[in-house]
Amino acid sequence: MNRYHVSLALIFLVILLNMPGKAHALISIEKERELGREVLQMVNEQAELIHDPDVVGFVADIGNSILKHVGVKYFEYQFFVIKDEALNAFAMPGGFVFVHSGLIEELDSENELACVLAHEIAHVQGRHIARRMERMQKVNIATTAMAIAGLFLGGGKMSSAVIASAGALNLSIALKYSREDEEEADRRAFQWLCKAGYDPRGLATVLKKMQKFRWLGADSIPSYLSTHPGASERSVYLLDLWERRPCRLRIKLDPLELRSVQIKVRVLSHDPNILIRRFQRELAVTPDDPYLRYGLGAAYLRARDYLRAEKIFLDLTKRHPETSLFRRALGRAYFEAGEHEQAEKVLQSYLKENPDDINGIYTLAQASLELKKYGKGLRLLKKIESKWPDKAAISLHMGRAYAALGMNGKAHYYYYQYYHLTGNKRAASYHKKKALALLPPDSPLAKELGQVTDEKEPGGKVDRP
């Protein structure tokens, strides 16, 4: 089929899907959850996620502050950050909300992120994808998941890898949000943001920012503008809504927290050697900016220039003892340089003042394992096991700790989890059999293993400055 016939087919499909006809029932909540899980797996396979707790936690905390005012929720929401320069954010059926690192880097305030998240949550609560599917008969979940993932990942290599068939391409066009969907999402988001104490005009400023990138002809055209149509009209509508119904702003914004998250996102998303030169140029203009210096140290650390990283973080801790983030970074630098005793000393001091910081706990646990303090390392890992975003990484360390302590049944259980999450079916199957042979049959871990199959679940390694 040539390009002309494909275009005609697509036009016909869109017309057909929008023709009035027999009403079809909305897919069930459980079907929508299943669809969301399918899409999540595809996104995990095609996109690289940032697992750092500072970054993911920042997004999740803001998202959860909105969810408190949503009322009845259909799904358990989860928040993710994709390592990609596009100015984009999207929500999947089932409550999976994604923000691209490029968008975080361009934000001027936490408020803007709150507005984007509220809008995406509103699409999920409005079940807009399910309503797009309502007109389609016998839609295949796997094909629909492929179409949704390709649609929201943008026009680059990630989406082209996902959209592997003409059927998925056709569906992706049909599944795009309508102007009515956008207006409904804006109205809902406006109400929730007001209740939470944010300024709902922030979404208008984000939309204008994206339009500016389009006007400048930037390499990374905001795909948000194609999947969320009517940006100009919506900006006017939102500002008009504010004029008629302004709300009280109660959230105290912390620009330094956003700054530290943006610096970390830059370091985790770009070539460290290029970043080193950028930070050096920026520091030549504002040499007293501690966060630029922190970014330079983090870039050196990713480039494995440990001595320069240590020197920068040590200087920052002396100049700015009130900023505990710099001490934690120094502890991480010592650990990655193999100076485990120094890392332990710095991080233990840091955690006395910040006992719930999971990033600090994780690095101290790693240092403890390297110092052969396996019991201590295991206790620390257990403390954050349910909170740590990179499940594969923490499973590997826990397996190592249990093995060193001679608790082989549990060691094989966690090694199974690690290989299962990273998609190594053969190794996962081996460790599952070993775990079931060694664990007491009535133990919770054995019962859990007896109920699961060895299907591939995507996971990944986390890099941390």
- State residue 111's pLDDT score: 95
Alpha helices in 216-323 (DSSP H): 224-227, 231-244, 255-269, 272-285, 290-302, 306-319
**Main-chain phi, psi angles of 96, to 5 degrees:** -95, 115
Of 81-85, 251-255, 321-325, the least confident: 251-255
Q: How many Cβ atoms are within 10 Å of 331's Cβ, its own excluded?
A: 27
Class of residue 347 by CB neighbours under 10 A (exposed 0-12, middle 13-18, buried 19+): buried
Vertex 261 angle, CA 422 and 216, to 5° = 100
Share of the chain above pLDDT 70, in %: 76
pLDDT score at 30? 85
| Average of per-residue pLDDT across 6-21 | 37
Provide the pLDDT for residue 231.
Answer: 61
What are the chain's domains? 3-244 (no CATH), 270-384 (1.25.40.10), 389-465 (no CATH)
**pLDDT for 134-165, tens place per residue?**
655 555 555 665 666 665 665 444 444 444 44
- C-alpha 362/C-alpha 274 separation (Å) is 28
pLDDT tens, position by position, 269-297: 999 999 999 999 999 999 999 999 999 99
pLDDT (average), residues 8-28: 44
Among 55-69, 70-84, 442-456, name the most confident range: 55-69
For residue 117, pLDDT over 90 is answered with yes
Q: What are the residues facing 80 on neighbouring strands?
A: 98
User: What average pLDDT does the chain have?
Assistant: 82
Most confident range, picked from 36-45, 203-212, 348-357: 348-357
Angle between helices 272-285 and 255-269 (to 10 degrees): 140
> Given a cut of 60, is residue 440 above it in pLDDT?
yes
pLDDT at 414: 98
Looking at residue 17, what is its pLDDT?
39
Q: Helix or strand or coil: residue 96?
A: strand
Q: Residue 420, class by beta-carbon neighbours within 10 Å (0-12 exposed, 13-18 middle, 19+ buried)? A: buried
